[in-house]
Structure 1
Amino acid sequence: MWNITKVVATFSTREDCIAFAEKEGLILDNKLCRKHKTPMIPTLSGNNTVGSFRCRRGSCRSLPAVSRAKGTWFENAKIPLPQIFYLMFAYASHWCQTEVRKNSFIAILSTATICDWYSYCREAVVLYQIDHEEAVGKIGGPGKVVQIDESKFGKRKYNKGRRVEGHWVLGMVEDGSEDLKLTVCPENVRSAEVLIPIIKKHVAEGSIICTDYWRAYNCLSDHGYEHRRVNQSDPENPFVAPDGTHTQRIESQWRVIKRFFLKDNFSNQQNFADLII
């Protein structure tokens, strides 16, 4: 079990952080030179976080070092490693900004730094959820109701790996189930050509699918689904149709996610709008 005492003891220096990152596979502990096919030498120079690899043989001596952070969680990071690991722990502990500053064993962290790294951690959580959904299998089935809707996720500061920057995310949830499917819409497109294959991948045929009136859903009945719709432009009751069809479950799921993100973002509406719209 991690606590602040263990965090201080484990990540007090840059060298301690690098050793932990190597042990946990967060960075490579060795790399071969492409030219000489021999192990390169790790060095703390050439990169402010986890250092670099450098080959000392022949003409390679004059070449730039290869960053150990490239393609990792630490790529493009601008703060010291102890601060990074501390902020990761603070995010996982759901600490607010005041708690982050109060418990810090390092230099005082700015609001911008805390918000940037909390946003970075949130994106990692979303991507992990997306990457590990397939093992659960399809939701729904004959006679079962699945509610579907989209919400837009916003920006983060650092450019690392796959991003949810300005992308629409499709949410699918089965009535009576806690399994929420989240999938990023490729190329930020919400057309039928994009959404229908995603739905077929995650929702079993024969399901009763409830959506709003977005035109991309109009052909769902042609793909083995019973399609029911809710007019969300209805000022009297935007989430329940006259026949009782509703999308309240998926809408409430978005609200829960947004409240969670808002809490971690210190009720800062401007920063929150950058994360999820």
Structure 2
Amino acid sequence: MTLELNKDQVGQFRHRKGKCRNKSYSRAAGTWFENARLPLPLMYQIMYMFSVDYTYEAVRRETSDMREEVLSQATIADWFNYCKEAIIVYQLEHEESREKIGGPGKIVQIDENVEGHWVLGMIEDVCDDLHLEVCPDNQRNADVLVQLIKKHVREGSTIHTDFWKAYDCLPEHGYIHKKVNHSDPINKFVAPNAVHTQRIESHWRVMKRLFSKDNYKSHFTEWLIEHIWRRNNRINHRDQFEEWLKCIVYVNFFFLIKFCFILIVFL
């Protein structure tokens, strides 16, 4: 078996002997790059620009020097969606092992919002670890919210919410519950006992601006997962490209299984 390399391409393995003589398969078989058709340097440049949140127009402009034909917006969109899929797979697989927030003596602010989808937001005071959950099937009732809260918030936490009645059962599940009345004509932001949900509400304002600008309503859940991933990397001072490569390494594990079957066929 020999490796054949072409300029700027992944290359392929070719059998030279035996019953598999002259059969070949891509060097990228069983990897995230398996179906890629662009030159390798261009692929890496697009991946980097996705990780640092370039716009489509910026990608077209920056890659125009690498080739005579300017990349179409459709091609860039396909690659960006492909990159997002790796983030989504990685995030969803690691969500179950994510550490809960709060605990005895700690305050967690909780609020729900909707932009076509009901989303529950949770954040601990003096902590930047934002937890977001899309309510399944857009159900907004006590049973759904309690299960999502128990998934993310430790028992014994002091939870601050608004006056929505679905939260009233929280003490039955091991939480201390305090409320702020957003309809209070004197102060709708902070209750007399200093209870408020201003931190989580500030995150809603940021997300609404981004959501309105980019109009992701048809892919809201995917957008939300990517937003959390980028935000967590930023507040933890992580390199976005290095973190995205971790997603690719993880996704390649699944491709490896497929690659093993290919080897069995050829050998």
Contact 1:130–1:182 (CA<8 Å) still a contact in 2? no
- Quickly say closer, same or farther: Cα 1:124–1:169, change in 2 above 3 A: farther
- Quickly say closer, same or farther: Cα 1:274–1:97, change in 2 above 3 A: same
Q: Which amino acid aligns with 1:99?
A: A
Contact 1:140–1:146 (CA<8 Å) still a contact in 2? yes
Contact 1:192–1:217 (CA<8 Å) still a contact in 2? yes
1:81-116 CA-to-partner distances (Å, cap 9, x unmatched) read 568765443220222344211112454345566567
List alignment gaps of at least 5 residues for structure 1: 1-9, 29-48, 51-79, 154-165, 263-267
Aligned pair 1:149/2:149, yes or no?
no
Structure 1 Cα separation of the partners of residues 32 and 129 of structure 2? 29
Match of 2:94 among 132, 141, 161: 132
List alignment gaps of at least 5 residues for structure 2: 1-5, 13-24, 225-267
| Residue 101 of structure 1: aligned partner | 60
- TM-score (normalised: structure 2): 0.57
Over 6 Å off, 4+ runs:
none
Structure 2 Cα separation of the partners of residues 117 and 190 of structure 1? 35
- State the Cα distance separating 1:232 from its structure 2 match: 3.5
| Residue 119 of structure 2: aligned partner | 169
Contact 2:118–2:139 (CA<8 Å) still a contact in 1? yes
| Residue 156 of structure 2: aligned partner | 206
Q: Which amino acid aligns with 1:26?
A: W
- TM-score (normalised: structure 1): 0.55
Name the structure where helix makes up a greater proportion of residues: 2
Structure 2 Cα separation of the partners of residues 142 and 220 of structure 1? 14
Match of 1:26 among 26, 32, 38: 32
Paired-residue identity, %: 49
1:116-171 CA-to-partner distances (Å, cap 9, x unmatched) read 76567557646644542443432211121011123447xxxxxxxxxxxx643322
- State the Cα distance separating 1:178 from its structure 2 match: 2.5
Structure 2 Cα separation of the partners of residues 174 and 11 of structure 1? 52
Matches of residues 214-229 of structure 1 in structure 2 within 5 Å?
A: 214-229=164-179
| Residue 198 of structure 2: aligned partner | 248
| Residue 5 of structure 1: aligned partner | none
- Quickly say closer, same or farther: Cα 1:203–1:92, change in 2 above 3 A: same
Contact 1:130–1:181 (CA<8 Å) still a contact in 2? no
Greater RCO between the two (CA within 8 Å, min separation 6)? 2
- Quickly say closer, same or farther: Cα 1:116–1:146, change in 2 above 3 A: farther
| Residue 213 of structure 2: aligned partner | 269
Give me the CA root mean square deviation: 4.0
Q: Which amino acid aligns with 2:213?
A: Q
